[in-house]
Amino acid sequence: MNSVVIIGGGLVGAATALALHKAGIKSAMYDQVNPMEVVMRGDALEFGESGGAVMIQAGGLRVLRTLGLLDECLANGLSSPYVTWAKIDGSSEIIGDMRIWNKKAGETDTRLLTPLHILRSKILIQACHRVGIKTHVGKKLVGVTQDENSVTATFADGTTATSDLLIGADGIHSATRRNVFGENLTAKFTGETGYIGVVNIKEHNITIKETDDVAFYIDRDHKYFVAVFKVSPEIAAVRVSTFEDPEEEDQSYRPFNDLPKHAGRLADLMQSWGVAPNVVKMMRCAFRISAASIYDLPDLESYNKDRVILIGDAAHGMVPNAGIGLLTGLEDVGTLLPILRHYPDGNDWKKALAMYSKVRVARGTAAANQARNMRAKGMAASVFGGGLNHFVFRLVVAGGNNGLFTLYTLFDCEEEVSKLIEEESK
Ligand SMILES: Cc1cc2nc3c(=O)[nH]c(=O)nc-3n(C[C@H](O)[C@H](O)[C@H](O)COP(=O)(O)OP(=O)(O)OC[C@H]3O[C@@H](n4cnc5c(N)ncnc54)[C@H](O)[C@@H]3O)c2cc1C
């Protein structure tokens, strides 16, 4: 493989570029974001569509370890073993110990047992720049054509880029997917909008106890949902989700410039739901608030068509309820790397890409279904009210904490690829 074009410079696009670099393959990233426009709007420059914090479980941390970025990421986030689910006012807490769940799932590296909570950082992008991977900005993909010998991306400004392979890492509304795999393959709006506030908790004297570092506050009867992610001793992200927002559906993640207006409006909304005062205060004191409309992408049958593959949310964008969207994208990257290492000869690329698709479609579909399931169960109330479901969930978490089962499944990228290669050679 001589040259690769990556469409999208989000976290998965950047991780892909780094993986290709490790496999000795040259790539260039193209992102629609135009830094001048962003700076003129007064926003911080950031690729990737969703703001706030993400949780990265063991499988994703393994891929960061492979890319040589684990220590840097661990140093820039907060590793917290607990996840708490509570009623909307913070009462009736159910605390899951992720160390036990990850051990049960088969993780043996003690550094990876505790999930990492990190702001969507620029670590991956910076790592790309360090090794000389170029990001072309202001390049919105509008068309893809391919033939026997090459694939060509066409951008809105009329320029083109031709390569041996094109990787669509352009997120849940992927233009690569629509152009190559079918215009009908679009993500559906769920009716939910998440508003994510980022706050300096130290400056505002907001205390969060260790078991609430990652906490979900839910009123199942009214479908009220608030989440908190502490990412350092100073910084936390708070998310409020609403189905009743008067704002129109917006395809993209968007930061708000009129911060005080939105901070006050969202904090008042949370207060009216009965959310605990320290959590309401987080939204009221946020220094950045962004909105993310929540979408679900129908399951795809293939992530590969000739010289094009899909990766990350472009392939399996999912509802965020299980917190495994990025993890699944990182697994894609962790799978692609050993495949490309095994098939370094460009003549074998067809076999390699088909193998990638085969192994990742199964996993991506399973992950999207897990996320849908968590969403349905997480918000559901029985005829006896939400309290019963909360109680049932308590039993499930207790089972997990006692090592009886795990809701988290570990995907060993290298091992899965080795198995497939062995099967192929039979
Ligand atoms: C509210 C919320 C909370 C979440 N929490 C978690 C969590 O805790 N844990 C977890 O694992 N996952 C979580 N996720 C999911 C996670 O954010 C995504 O899976 C991940 O960011 C996807 O990365 P990506 O690089 O594939 O796509 P994106 O981050 O969407 O990046 C796509 C890139 O492509 C560019 N692009 C788009 N269209 C074009 C085009 N036409 N031409 C050129 N460039 C283009 C965009 O500018 C962007 O830079 C959450 C998602 C949401 C919405």
Q: How far is the CA of 102 from the centre of ligand 1 (A)?
A: 24
Indicate which residue's Cα is closest to atom 29 of ligand 1.
48
Q: Are residues 241 and 150 in the same domain?
A: no
Q: How far is the CA of 359 from the centre of ligand 1 (A)?
A: 21
Q: Which of 162, 185, 163, 158 is nearest to 174 (CA)?
A: 185
- Of 16, 30, 32, best ligand 1 pocket probe by most atoms within 8 Å of the beta carbon: 32
Q: Are residues 288 and 309 in the same domain?
A: no
Q: How far is the CA of 321 from the centre of ligand 1 (A)?
A: 14
Q: Are residues 376 and 388 in the same domain?
A: yes
Residues written for the chain: 426
Q: How far is the CA of 196 from the centre of ligand 1 (A)?
A: 15
How is residue 186 written in tokens?
Answer: 């679009």
Q: Are residues 288 and 163 in the same domain?
A: no
How is residue 123 written in tokens?
Answer: 């670590």
What whole-number distance in Å separates Cα of residue 85 and Cα of residue 82?
Answer: 10
Q: How far is the CA of 401 from the centre of ligand 1 (A)?
A: 31
How is residue 287 written in tokens?
Answer: 């220094």
DSSP 12-50: HHHHHHHHHHHTT-EEEEEES--HHHHHHHTPPP--SS-
- Of 12, 38, 300, best ligand 1 pocket probe by most atoms within 8 Å of the beta carbon: 12
Indicate which residue's Cα is closest to atom 21 of ligand 1.
326
Last residue of a domain, one of 296, 328, 349: 296
Q: Are residues 11 and 139 in the same domain?
A: yes
Specify if 102 maps to a domain.
no
Q: Which atom belonging to ligand 1 lies closest to the Cα atom of 174?
A: 38
Specify if 101 maps to a domain.
no
What whole-number distance in Å separates Cα of residue 413 and Cα of residue 57?
Answer: 14
Specify if 93 maps to a domain.
no
pLDDT at 49: 43
Last residue of a domain, one of 280, 296, 312: 296
Question: For the domain that residue 265 is a member of, what is the CATH number?
Answer: 3.30.9.60
Specify if 89 maps to a domain.
no
Residue numbers of the domain that contains 25: 3-80+107-186+298-425
Q: Are residues 285 and 320 in the same domain?
A: no
pLDDT at 346: 78
Q: Are residues 135 and 278 in the same domain?
A: no
Q: Which atom belonging to ligand 1 lies closest to the Cα atom of 33?
A: 47
What whole-number distance in Å separates Cα of residue 98 and Cα of residue 78?
Answer: 14
Q: What is the pLDDT along the chain (426 residues), one digit of tens a residue?
A: 578 999 998 889 999 999 999 999 999 999 998 655 554 555 554 544 445 788 899 999 999 999 999 999 998 889 999 999 999 999 999 999 999 999 999 999 999 999 999 887 667 877 888 888 888 989 999 999 999 899 999 999 999 999 999 999 999 999 999 999 999 999 999 988 899 999 999 999 999 999 999 999 999 889 899 999 999 999 999 999 988 765 556 656 676 777 888 899 999 999 999 999 999 999 999 998 888 889 999 999 999 999 999 999 999 999 998 889 999 999 999 999 999 999 988 788 889 999 999 999 999 999 999 999 988 887 776 677 778 888 888 999 999 999 988 877 889 999 999 998 888 877
Q: How far is the CA of 144 from the centre of ligand 1 (A)?
A: 21
Q: Are residues 281 and 307 in the same domain?
A: no
Q: Which atom belonging to ligand 1 lies closest to the Cα atom of 239?
A: 1
Q: What is the DSSP letter of 187?
A: P
- Of 326, 331, 374, best ligand 1 pocket probe by most atoms within 8 Å of the beta carbon: 326
Specify if 157 maps to a domain.
yes
56 class by beta-carbon count within 10 Å (0-12 exposed, 13-18 middle, 19+ buried): buried
What lies within 8 Å, CB to CB, of 383 at 6+ separation is none
What domain count does the chain have? 2
Q: Are residues 263 and 156 in the same domain?
A: no
Q: Are residues 289 and 324 in the same domain?
A: no
Q: Which atom belonging to ligand 1 lies closest to the Cα atom of 142?
A: 41
Q: How far is the CA of 254 from the centre of ligand 1 (A)?
A: 12
Question: For the domain that residue 15 is a member of, what is the CATH number?
Answer: 3.50.50.60
Specify if 156 maps to a domain.
yes
Q: Are residues 323 and 359 in the same domain?
A: yes
Q: How far is the CA of 50 from the centre of ligand 1 (A)?
A: 6
Specify if 96 maps to a domain.
no
Q: Where are the alpha helices (DSSP H) in 131-258?
A: 175-180
pLDDT at 245: 64
Indicate which residue's Cα is closest to atom 30 of ligand 1.
171
How is residue 319 written in tokens?
Answer: 């509802």
Last residue of a domain, one of 296, 320, 352: 296
- Of 45, 62, 170, 229, best ligand 1 pocket probe by most atoms within 8 Å of the beta carbon: 170
Specify if 94 maps to a domain.
no
Total Cβ atoms within 10 A of residue 72 = 16
Q: Are residues 178 and 308 in the same domain?
A: yes
